[in-house]
Amino acid sequence: MNAIISASELASALTGENPPVLLDVRWQLTLAKTPGEPPFDGRKAYEAGHIPGAVYVDLDRELAATPGSRGRHPLPDLAGFGAAMRRSGVSSGTPVIVYDGGQGWAAARAWWLLRWTGHPEVRVLDGGLPTWEGPLETSVPSPAEGDFEPVPGATGLLDADDAAALARSGVLLDARAGERYRGEVEPIDPVGGHIPGALSAPTNDNVGTDGRFLPAEELAARFKALGASEGTDVGVYCGSGVSGAHEVLALAVAGIPAALYVGSWSEWSSDPSRPVAVGPDPQ
């Protein structure tokens, strides 16, 4: 099953015999803003207009636990996550389509969590809401309770020690911007740099100017040049396990399974005992 879906395919699916549950996960990483400027409000954006039938999911509250020693977006409590998905109408036998405001990171986080916890059919709207040409609605739907029960996967998740080991034995990709990988700037976390042995692979390079993923063959060629191909043990991290999920999604489009280090740099850099590499050299 393809991990992404186009807007035209989504429009057809919504009128089909088994229409998908539609989740709106609009979210933005909030950095320093002009004094007095409010942070991005995903629910407010949703209420101003969303794809008909879509249910809003809050990334910070429903797709992550409280920030702390495990990072800025640690894994959510699975009981709470399952309850949030069931409230949204998610059932194991019903396909799920996730979209966000276009960046794709938040939608990928929801996709990854649902896949990791056992949902068999989840896709991301490629390019997000800006690609949708149909009508929008402002009414908030009340879907029937779903039956999805999350069961964590045996693979696909890395902790800090796993990530350190994979950087030596396989391929560990750093999905952040290159300047953060090199340690030239660090706007959020305690220190700049990267996990020793990790390779810089900014996830923004996986999409075109329209926000859609590059063709699968181009993505496969990009990852192959980094040493990642089918049959290779591949892992991804980022700042807090959100943009990294987007890179895992890009790898899936390319046909390459990959695991996610959810704690990512926000967890790694908070532990002064863990080594930090700086500059363009992986080591």
Encode pLDDT of 122-146 as tens digits.
Answer: 999 999 999 999 999 999 999 999 9
38 catalytic? Reply is: no
The residues near 49 (Cβ < 8 Å, ≥ 6 apart) are: 136, 137, 138
Report whether pLDDT(35) > 80. Answer: no
Q: What is the pLDDT of residue 37?
A: 72
The model's confidence at residue 33, banded by pLDDT at 50, 70 and 90, is low
Q: Which two tokens stand for residue 241?
A: 């396990």
Q: Tell me the average pLDDT across 8-19.
A: 94
Contact 107, 124 (CB under 8 A): yes
Q: Provide φ and ψ at 172, rounded to 5°.
A: -115, 120
Q: Which listed residue (198, 238, 249, 252) is catalytic?
A: 238
Q: Which two tokens stand for residue 69?
A: 């020693």
The model's confidence at residue 116, banded by pLDDT at 50, 70 and 90, is very high
| Residue positions counted in the chain | 283
Report whether pLDDT(48) > 90. Answer: yes
Q: What is the pLDDT of residue 110?
A: 98
Q: Tell me the average pLDDT across 98-107.
A: 96
Q: What is the pLDDT of residue 29?
A: 79
Cα–Cα distance measured from residue 197 to residue 184, given in angstroms and rounded to the nearest whole number = 18
Q: Tell me the average pLDDT across 7-25.
A: 96
Cα–Cα distance measured from residue 60 to residue 150, given in angstroms and rounded to the nearest whole number = 18
Gyration radius from the chain CA atoms = 18
Report whether pLDDT(55) > 80. Answer: yes
pLDDT digits (tens, 9 = 90+) for 179-220: 999 999 999 999 999 999 999 999 999 999 999 999 999 999
Report the percentage of the chain scoring pLDDT > 90. 91
Least confident of 105-109, 151-155, 202-206: 151-155
Cα–Cα distance measured from residue 36 to residue 38, given in angstroms and rounded to the nearest whole number = 6
Least confident of 2-11, 31-40, 78-87, 151-160: 31-40
Q: What is the pLDDT of residue 1?
A: 66
The model's confidence at residue 30, banded by pLDDT at 50, 70 and 90, is low
pTM of the model: 0.96
Picking from 146, 145, 85, 87, the residue whose alpha carbon sits closest to that of residue 115 is 85
Ramachandran region, residue 240 (left: φ > 0; alpha: ψ -120 to 50; beta: rest): alpha
